[in-house]
Amino acid sequence: MSTVVYARVPDSLKQALAVRARERGLSLTAAVVALLERGLDATEDERAREREGELAASAGELERTRARLAEAQATLALAREREQLTASSFRALAERARGELASCPQCGKPVRGSDLLVSGHCPQCVTPLTALLLPRPQTGAPDRDAYLALLGALGGLVGLALASTSGAG
């Protein structure tokens, strides 16, 4: 079955079609049909190549995304390990700070590490515990100011550890 298709084409194209038909021993209609079929096949092949290219690009993007995901998962696992280590360190420090450390120089009641390093006074009589913080003079002992700065930093760390463990537990 065949159908008639009317199309206007420039004279130069019609002449080129006529030459092509003569060279191949075809009628003008047969030459037009053959060229249209080749053009349609070429268009389908071009679309298939474009789709293959898009598929290859998508596959490449998928691989890059998988690599980023693996990297993010490794980073997350490392962060979780660090968080667990920090939390266990804070728990250990907080536990030690909760333990009895000394006796109050004023009332003789037990003083915990947190009383000494965080609040700085006896929980019973509110006497400052700074005397317990000062190093005893000895050879090779740290400078008094450096020692107090170290204790201040340690006190802040103990306070942070206590606050984080009391909120978690």
Burial of 56-72, coded b for 16+ CB within 10 Å and e otherwise, reads: eeeeeeeeeeeeeeeee
Q: How confident is the model at residue 12 (pLDDT cuts 50, 70, 90)?
A: very high
Give the residues across from 100 on adjacent strands.
112
Residue where a domain stops, chosen among 67, 91, 115: 91
Counting the structural domains of the chain, the total is 2
**Structure pTM?**
0.46
Residues 164 and 125 in one domain: yes
Residue where a domain stops, chosen among 35, 62, 91: 91
Residues 15 and 87 in one domain: yes
Query: Is residue 5 in a domain?
Result: no
Q: pLDDT for 136-155, tens place per residue?
A: 665 555 566 666 666 777 77
CA angle 12, 2, 41 (to 5 degrees): 60
CA angle 105, 106, 110 (to 5 degrees): 65
Q: Beta-carbon neighbour count of residue 148 at 10 Å?
A: 15
Domain assignment of residue 145, given as a range: 100-168
Q: Which two tokens stand for residue 21?
A: 């038909």
Q: pLDDT for 46-78, tens place per residue?
A: 999 999 999 999 999 999 999 999 999 999 999
